[in-house]
Chain A
Amino acid sequence: MSTTENRQATAVVEEAALTGAPEATANSMGEYVRAWALRVRNGESGMLPVIAGLILIVVIFQTQSSVFLSAGNLTNLLVQGSTFILLGMAEVFVLLLGEIDLSIGYLAAIGAVVTVSMSSAPDNHPWWIAIIAGLAASAAIGMVQGALITRLKLPSFVVTLAGLLGLEGLLIFLADRWGGKNGGGTIRITNNIVNDLVNGNLSVAAGWIIMAVAVAAFAAFSLVRDRRRRAAGLVVGPPALTLLKILLAAVAGIALVAICNTNRGRLIALRGVPWVVLVVLGVLAIWTVLLGRTRFGRYIYAIGGNAEAARRAGINLGRIRLAAFSLAGLTAGIAGVIYASRLGSISNNVDGGQLVLYAVAAAVIGGTSLFGGRGKMIHAVVGGLVIATIYNGMGLLGLSAATQYMVTALVLLAAVTVDALARRNTTSK
């Protein structure tokens, strides 16, 4: 505490109140905007800069290539982004603890190789058994790494770096063995359902109906919760804010379905929301509830914020960390199955090293802290879309891989810088 604080005790109290979550301190929309502006000035800007950045990137690409904002390309972008988003969500679990998982790219590949080889010829197991087995494999490897980190107290950086190397070896071994003599280390997907996870579409009507139901459910849930909390005299944001959020969700939903339902086929009509969009939204919803509304999620944040305080509160740190690494593995497995489905096959030359960098970048660009305790699943969605946009747009412009890597690196550096500055601002107060 500085001596200035003594003199300005009341001012500090006032300021402290204002720097909290704006939802928590504002009663009207005007107050909300003021509290929020103060937070942005203090470096707690949330997702605002990244969304502004995303819009900027989209504008740049659209001026350079008129194809960019076409329905076909945007749907393609969503599909490309889904792998980055799912990998980013896997990484959020461990980043929240203040740890990192470098093996996530190859964890995904292992899940994919198990699922693809079980569901495809000659084994031809049912798709759901194959997917469960693939996800279980990824989760189990994640759990083993988590056990090494928690039981032996090894740094997660080193354990998962070993995982990155070891799992690449395992991937080559499995793909060569299961791909058969003439497979050349590639296993083709012959199961229709596994193939359609990404390449299949909902019918036009189904897309609209599901979107309407989802938005209505979100609206009903928000409004009922607000009313209940207001009736009980609890902290609740301004009503206009809730309405604005519902409106934004509706606009986003309508835009998404309208874009996907536009015909994007060249020779034959191709329209509808890809299944993968539902997979991503489903995973997002479940993991968001897990992190935000359960004890387990609360403890992940507590450990990331102050592990010693969590320990003194009687939280079993080892168990929570172990579960977080397992869930990261499970989510990576989902990402791997989606990745394979998009390619129509899985091979021994998956670049898991690059995938993990995209995963960390997606989470951090979206606003999840590398230092633990701050972040949300939605961050991986926004960050994953940014990366997919850069990846897709530069591909359209015909820029070389060299440029793509360097631009992605700059975006990642910018995101980490914002994170570090925000952290410095909050700790130096």
Chain B
Amino acid sequence: MSSSPAVPARPADAGRAAGDSPLLSTRGLVKRFGPVEALSAVDLDVLPGQVTALLGDNGAGKSTLIKTISGIHEADGGKVTWDGQPVRIRGPKDASALGIATVYQDLALCDNLDIVENMFLGREQVNRGLLDESTMEESAKRTLSDLSVTTVRSIRQPVGSLSGGQRQAVAVARAVMQNARLVIMDEPTAALGVAQTAMVLDLITTLRDRGIAVLLISHNLNDVFAVADRLAVLYLGRMAAQGPISEFDTQSAVHAITTGSRGGTDNDHAGIAGQKGTD
């Protein structure tokens, strides 16, 4: 998997032409937990080579939706198509076989292992029974430089000694090395400072430029408007609004998040929301 270029090298704008068919789309996706319907008939489109921001208030169903897409929950109804083909995602293995990689908020890294060891965890290259450290180190190095991650001084330092943004970068590089075509990121900037956040946003842009689709969950509208190409807003388990970022501004996005309706002509809401959005 790593003797080929670590990051699929596509022309930068290959996936971004208008009218391109979605990489992933869900139609009428339903997920119930007992009597609670966490997702009711959700239609979501994720386009290749675009950053789709998934917004919604707490409890709107964002986490349930990404867990359903990444196979942690199995959907109770609805259809999922991948590259135009209908697929069923029954478990995390199905999702990663399709090329869906999820970077969770807790990142799932081993602090005691170094960057290379973390990037290859579970998929180590072996030569005559022994770990092939040189090959792994070379492709890890290539992947990181393809992603323009330059702040780490050595890829042989333990992940526990890295900053939050660098850890995020390692987790993303790990996903990219699995030849992911869709990277789902759950609140990647939630715990980061200004410089670290900028680094992660750059990373997201780099992924997009490589033709990889990104589904980004964030509460921070500044971040979302900085990198997203499309917005999808969930409200109480249904898709309240979805479309190119040009159709939204901060006020209308917040309006959709808080009321579940598109529009944004309601000045009261917009006013309150505007304050909230600049937090």
Contact = CB atoms under 8 A, between A and B. Distances in A.
Interface string B142-175: 0000000001111111101111101000000000
Contacts of B83: none
Interface in A1-39: 1, 3, 5-6, 9-10, 12-14, 16-21, 23-25
B192 A1 contact: yes
Contacts, number: 135
A13 B121 contact: no
18 contacts: A6-B196, A9-B194, A14-B153, A17-B152, A17-B154, A21-B157, A21-B158, A24-B154, A24-B157, A25-B153, A235-B156, A294-B130, A295-B126, A305-B113, A312-B108, A313-B121, A314-B93, A374-B112
Contacts of A16: 153, 157, 161-163, 166
A293 B136 CA distance: 13
Contacts of B36: none
A306 B111 contact: yes
A61 interface: no
Interface of B: 92-93, 106, 108-114, 117, 121-124, 126, 129-131, 134, 137-138, 141, 151-158, 160-164, 166, 191-196
A315 interface: yes
Contacts of A18: 153
Contacts of B191: 1
A309 B156 contact: no
A9 B163 contact: yes
B154 A235 contact: yes
B112 A6 contact: no
Contacts of B109: 306, 309
A19 B166 CA distance: 15
B131 A6 contact: no
B160 A310 contact: no
Interface of A: 1, 3, 5-6, 9-10, 12-14, 16-21, 23-25, 228-229, 232, 234-235, 289, 293-295, 298, 301-302, 304-306, 308-310, 312-315, 373-374, 426, 429
Nearest to B102: A312
B196 A234 contact: no
Contacts of B131: 293-295, 298
A314 B122 CA distance: 6
Nearest to A4: B193
B267 to A, nearest CB: 35
Nearest to A42: B161
Nearest to A297: B131
A298 B113 CA distance: 9
Contacts of B192: 1
A49 B169 CA distance: 35
Given A13-B153, A16-B157, 15 more contacts: A1-B164, A1-B191, A5-B196, A14-B153, A17-B154, A20-B158, A232-B134, A234-B134, A235-B137, A235-B155, A294-B130, A295-B131, A301-B110, A301-B112, A312-B108
B193 A3 contact: yes
DSSP majority for the B interface?
loop
Given A13-B151, A20-B154, A234 B137 contact: yes
A263 B196 CA distance: 65
Nearest to A426: B160
Closest 8 CB pairs of A and B: A20-B157, A6-B193, A313-B122, A17-B153, A24-B156, A305-B110, A305-B112, A9-B195
A23 B193 contact: no
B30 to A, nearest CB: 26
A306 B162 CA distance: 16
A309 B158 contact: no
A315 B193 CA distance: 33
A304 B161 contact: no
A369 to B, nearest CB: 9
A232 B192 CA distance: 35
A17 to B, nearest CB: 3
Contacts of B92: 312
A17 B126 CA distance: 28
Contact of B113 (A13, A289, A293, A301): A301
A363 B82 CA distance: 52
Contacts of B124: 295, 298
Contacts of B156: 20-21, 23-25, 235
Contacts of B110: 301-302, 305-306, 309-310, 373
A345 to B, nearest CB: 40
Contacts of A305: 110-113
A429 B205 CA distance: 29
A298 B117 contact: yes
For B110, B131, B163, B196, the residue with the greatest tally of chain A CB atoms inside 10 Å of its CB is B110
A18 B158 CA distance: 11
A108 B131 CA distance: 31
B2 to A, nearest CB: 14
A232 B135 CA distance: 10
Contacts of A17: 152-154, 157, 161
Contacts of A6: 193-196
Contacts of A24: 114, 154-157
Nearest to B151: A13
A190 to B, nearest CB: 40
